[in-house]
Structure 1
Amino acid sequence: MCGIVGAVGNSPVNQLLYDALLLLQHRGQDAAGIATMNGSSFSMHKANGMVRDVFRTRNMRSLPGNAGIGQVRYPTAGSASSEEEAQPFYVNAPFGIILAHNGNLTNAPALRDEMFYRDRRHINTNSDTEVLLNVLADELQRATNSIALDAGAAFAAVSEVHKRLKGSYAVVSLISGYGLLAFRDPFGIRPLCIGRLDTAQGPEWMVASESVTLEGLGFKFVRDVAPGEAIFIGVDGQFQSKLCAENARLNPCIFEYVYLARPDSCIDGVTVYDVRLLMGNYLAEKIARETDVSQIDVVMPIPDSSRPAAMQVAKLLGVPYREGFFKNRYVGRTFIMPGQAMRKKSVRQKLNAMRLEFKDKNVLIVDDSIVRGTTSYEIVQMARDAGAKKVIFASAAPPVRFPNVYGIDMPTRSELVAYGRTHDEITKLIGADELIYQDVEDLKKAVRDINPAIANFDASCFDGQYITGDITESYLDALEASRNTPKSLADRQQAEGSDLARSQLHLHLASQE
């Protein structure tokens, strides 16, 4: 899960892209990069870190041009510590192409071999984005062997790219001297939308992961990029689009609505905030069925993404809503921090429990989801340390029982607290008195209540159904083996931290038995 943006304007776009990445910062805090095109020349700056730290005045001055792309990275493939894997990536032939990608290719190893043995292309990093870039470059080369590049040739190349790639991908790319090419995978797993700004000099265009990026910068939201669709915006501002995949069908990642996206974004016709309110409605119904509501004194959210659901739970149950946890906004999102040790340590730096709201109360805590369980365990302990008599923990999402291979950092089964454990075991492991999970079908209904046209989702982390059809048990075994073999000192330290955190949780579970 990363954030990407592309823009074609009538004046320099460097500041526009910087501001767009700030609005996408929640989608990735590991690295940031911007590339611009001035005539046929590219300029690029990228590095590890937050947007505000990566770009200084001197960096911005070195990014001239009226077209550009940017990305904030959240590592899912390759090494989280490698600055070389910050995006965008560049290849010089054909034409010169710069590309950024949100998602994860599930057949990247096979494509990497194909690039070397068949296409004689060199892949220099472990990033699947570099693989994707070279596949696109290879297909553009084939599509333009005897003709100049135009939108038709670009669309033909994307059609062939769709046939070769598996997994999830939303892409923005610049082709030197020609314009911006963007496309979305045939399942529409990762979001991508289009915005337009009419000026006296003509229209300006922006393509971004979330609609909040467009609206926050004055662009009018036009529509989402359809699954399998490609759009081409020339340097003259001419917009063209084409569906480039057979049997394309919308299967958006349902975790976008649960946690990843900002609540003020609209994805595939669904306002994220409204979904989270409905998640609260369905969760309240289940809580009322499974516990004695009269014994609950207060309902509290874990800020910020669970707040809409918690408000609805409190309203429907007739229980007071309180803000008992307060957030340090200068600590990043714990779920997307690389390394379990860093993630665990940051919970108490990020949240503080106000004793007045907890002391001698039976507290219902609502969180958006429970993934690894370490954060939930720390939160429950904070509530008890603040004086709570009883802690009921409710998750607005179902149990995360399966790895996600489409661009979210939950790829190994051993890291998931719900994998292979009973409901009672999970409850003991996180230290709660009671635990209530949202039902999978209720989560899907919450989205469909707003947009009934969405027939299916990528909900693989909840239901184990991998919509691309290429994920097998052996694939997951190989992925876990790869993940559990650190390649660098930083990766080894992260792995050791993960082992320590898991050991502490297992000891806690054993003490409860």
Structure 2
Amino acid sequence: MSDQIKHECGIAIVRLLKPLRYYRDKYDDLLYGFQKLFLLMEKQHNRGQDGAGIGCVKLNTPPGESFMERERDNGRNPIANVVKKVMKDYQKKLNTQIFPEFPETYKKHFPFGGEVLMGHLRYGTSGGYDKSVCQPYFRRSPWPTRNLMLAGNFNMTNVEDLNAKLIARGAHPIFNTDTQTVLEEIGYHLDEEHQRLYHELRDGGTPSDQIAAIISERMDLVSILKQAAEDWDGGYTLAGLIGNGDCFVTRDALGIRPAYYFANDEVVAFASERVALMTIFDQHEGDVKEIAPGSAVVVKGSGELIVGQVREPAPQRASCSFERIYFSRGNDPVIYKERKALGGALSDQIIDAIDDDFAHSVFSFIPNTAETAYYGLMDELRVRRRQQVKNAILDAQAKGPLSDALIDELIMGNWPRGEKIAHKDIKIRTFISQESNRVTLASHVYDITYGQIESGVDNLVCIDDSIVRGTTLKRSILRILARTEPKQIIIASTAPQIRYPDCYGIDMSELGKFIAFQATIELLNETGAADLIREVYRDCLAQAELPAAEMVNHVKRLYEHFETECISNKVAELVTPKNGDWNGEVKVIFQSIENLHQSCPENTGDWYFTGNYPTPGGYAVLNRAFINFYEDREGRSY
């Protein structure tokens, strides 16, 4: 993705099922669980670089000793920073020989020497960027079953309503982030269940020294989550640790945010990405299970694994298609296949754009994350060319014997040619405040391979994952590619036009910043249809106070005024640099919605492309986003 956007946090849980001594004896490693957590986080570092946090629960801790720990960091390289802090303490105690021999001593003296470990990677979309908003969040109590540590990959669209519900109960919530809101909602029902069980046991004559253990055993997290999630509107994967050793991961009913787990007799582990679990625990694809939409997977303090239904799953799931296009790591076997398919699906449009002239076209990709789609495109172009050659040979044979010269012409000429034109050399940190200087620095992020393009003759086709704002394309990438002096530059996006804001995890909420929206507004003004913009604004205002479930997508009418290709052409015009020595043509090609769904059949969530939001809250966010645009107000719309 040439435009940098914030998105998609990551979660990880490692639940050890054996005594700590087992891992020392089998793997010669007291830090087995902690190291696995660290590796799971590192393998998902693509999911969050604004902060990281870890949490731990120790089972069967004697009264008076700490049983839950947390560490967070929001600096550069936050995963490494968190681990360094923890390991510094570990190494210090190891060097003083406080606990080199026995797991029991290790567990007592090492804060993260527990059996239940959680990690979180943060991309900030709300609440600022200081350490206090890094997850996991922690709700403390001297009763283990009332302690809750929570982390997630999510956004709720109706936080105001959820906070109002808390206030109506008499709570005094801190309006920080939706994480705090969700933490308090789950915590409320956790407290209620604890109190119910406590009074039931006490009034039934259970000895007081047995009550805590029985509460821990009977605590039904699936039921608690079901009550807490009743009014949630959003996309979420939530992970939690309870002080008694119970842990859970739950997922929204539409399956918007991803979640996976695997279990054997040694460990249960959860992650946002399947391939992380496959790699770190040496598992096959079939061993790692997806958490079903609307369900929760719970591991009790006893080690019992429970799968239960929290929300009724939606008739049609709406898993985020951006996970497949860009966000998730591409070494997952299914995602790799889908990204190749996305590249191949662009072949018809690209062949048309170059007028079937493979001989004078060079194919490449930018940025590096588009490389897999590039391979898919090249595979498909070669298939098309082989078919052309086959047909030409058959036609020539029908007219007489084939000569060497004719065979060379048919087979050797006009083949798709791929080159690595742009190399990402180093990420130059654009800390300089002046905008002009940041643009200058960004233009040196990539090095160009010179001498591969025939000046003024060859087409340069570059695959991109998606085009969001078009800013980087205009200010940096097209200027870089123009140094090779091609006849025309064709940017082909594996994603369709991004037309609508996201509110379920991706930080794309300012409608006026999307290049496809900008192009549409320009076209409406140019064609004398600006009245439609004002009309849509009035209609959005008219429904602004309605319940979200009664809102409709008025913004869609703006796009319906033009063919997709017309908007693409205007996008190309808007991103073409206006100064410089190169005078070639820029074309921009976008994936079709149909090809997107054919390439990624299981991840059908496409609201940012189509405006078809899977929950009512999405329409409320869109409505606010358009009002903000029209009134020239910046800021997130949820």
Q: What's the TM-score once normalised by structure 2's chain length? A: 0.68
Match of residue 433, structure 1, among 557, 565, 586: 586
Letter in 2 for 1:393: I
Greater Rg, structure 1 or structure 2? 2
Considering fraction of residues, name the structure with more strand: 1
Q: 1:289, CA displacement in angstroms?
A: 3.8
Structure 2 unaligned residues grouped into runs of 5+ = 1-7, 21-30, 62-66, 91-110, 198-214, 383-415, 520-566, 577-584
Q: 1:184, CA displacement in angstroms?
A: 0.4
Equivalent in the alignment of 1:88:
136
**In structure 2, the residue corresponding to 1:144 is in which secondary structure?**
helix
Given the alignment of the two structures, is residue 216 of structure 1 paired with residue 261 of structure 2, yes or no? no
Match of residue 443, structure 1, among 592, 596, 600: 596
Q: 1:416, CA displacement in angstroms?
A: 0.7
Q: What's the TM-score once normalised by structure 1's chain length? A: 0.84
Equivalent in the alignment of 2:189:
139
Q: 1:342, CA displacement in angstroms?
A: 11
Q: Number of residues paired by the alignment?
A: 465
Equivalent in the alignment of 2:506:
408
Kept in 1: contact 2:572–2:588 (CA 8 A):
yes
CA change 1:251–1:56 in 2 (3 A) is: closer
Match of residue 235, structure 1, among 282, 288, 301: 301
Deviation string 1:430-459 (CA, Å, 9 cap, x unpaired) is: 2262111110111011112xxxxx4x7221
Equivalent in the alignment of 1:25:
45
- Counterpart CA distance in 2 for 1:476 and 1:175 is 38
Letter in 1 for 2:222: F
Given the alignment of the two structures, is residue 71 of structure 1 paired with residue 120 of structure 2, yes or no? yes
Letter in 2 for 1:469: P
Equivalent in the alignment of 2:200:
none
Letter in 2 for 1:305: T
Deviation string 1:194-225 (CA, Å, 9 cap, x unpaired) is: 023x4xxx420111000121112125343100
Q: 1:142, CA displacement in angstroms?
A: 2.6
- Counterpart CA distance in 1 for 2:224 and 2:184 is 12
Equivalent in the alignment of 2:365:
301
Identity percentage of aligned residues: 24
Match of residue 115, structure 1, among 162, 166, 175: 166
Q: 1:264, CA displacement in angstroms?
A: 1.6
Letter in 2 for 1:73: R
Match of residue 263, structure 1, among 311, 321, 330: 330
Equivalent in the alignment of 2:468:
371
Deviation string 1:9-68 (CA, Å, 9 cap, x unpaired) is: 144522221111110101111111111112362111111132454225342334221211
Q: 1:77, CA displacement in angstroms?
A: 2.2
CA change 1:153–1:234 in 2 (3 A) is: closer
Q: 1:426, CA displacement in angstroms?
A: 0.6
CA change 1:192–1:478 in 2 (3 A) is: farther
- Counterpart CA distance in 2 for 1:67 and 1:293 is 58
Equivalent in the alignment of 1:510:
none
Given the alignment of the two structures, is residue 43 of structure 1 paired with residue 69 of structure 2, yes or no? yes
Equivalent in the alignment of 1:324:
421
**In structure 1, the residue corresponding to 2:604 is in which secondary structure?**
coil
**In structure 2, the residue corresponding to 1:393 is in which secondary structure?**
strand
Kept in 1: contact 2:57–2:114 (CA 8 A):
yes
**In structure 1, the residue corresponding to 2:238 is in which secondary structure?**
strand
CA change 1:56–1:233 in 2 (3 A) is: closer
Equivalent in the alignment of 1:511:
none
- Counterpart CA distance in 1 for 2:486 and 2:270 is 47
Letter in 1 for 2:575: I
Q: 1:344, CA displacement in angstroms?
A: 5.7
Letter in 1 for 2:595: D
Kept in 1: contact 2:453–2:485 (CA 8 A):
yes
Q: Which moved more, 1:357-366 or 1:254-263?
A: 357-366
Letter in 1 for 2:451: L
Equivalent in the alignment of 1:314:
378
Letter in 2 for 1:210: E
- Counterpart CA distance in 2 for 1:287 and 1:30 is 37
CA change 1:457–1:370 in 2 (3 A) is: same
Deviation string 1:356-394 (CA, Å, 9 cap, x unpaired) is: 334523200110100110122221110102333321111
CA change 1:51–1:253 in 2 (3 A) is: same
Q: Which moved more, 1:353-362 or 1:184-193?
A: 353-362
Q: 1:326, CA displacement in angstroms?
A: 1.1
Equivalent in the alignment of 1:388:
486
Q: 1:137, CA displacement in angstroms?
A: 0.9
**In structure 1, the residue corresponding to 2:515 is in which secondary structure?**
coil
Kept in 1: contact 2:510–2:635 (CA 8 A):
no
Q: 1:108, CA displacement in angstroms?
A: 1.3
Given the alignment of the two structures, is residue 225 of structure 1 paired with residue 291 of structure 2, yes or no? yes
Kept in 2: contact 1:233–1:239 (CA 8 A):
yes
- Counterpart CA distance in 1 for 2:172 and 2:46 is 34
Q: 1:404, CA displacement in angstroms?
A: 0.7
Q: 1:306, CA displacement in angstroms?
A: 1.3
Runs of 4+ residues deviating >6 angstroms: 339-343, 478-483
CA change 1:320–1:134 in 2 (3 A) is: same
Kept in 2: contact 1:192–1:210 (CA 8 A):
yes
Kept in 1: contact 2:147–2:243 (CA 8 A):
yes
Match of residue 105, structure 1, among 156, 162, 178: 156
Structure 1 unaligned residues grouped into runs of 5+ = 449-453, 487-513
Kept in 2: contact 1:300–1:365 (CA 8 A):
yes
Alignment of 1:163-174 (within 5 A): 163-174=230-241
Query: What's the C-alpha RMSD, in Å, of the aligned pairs?
Result: 2.7
Given the alignment of the two structures, is residue 57 of structure 1 paired with residue 84 of structure 2, yes or no? yes
Kept in 1: contact 2:494–2:590 (CA 8 A):
yes
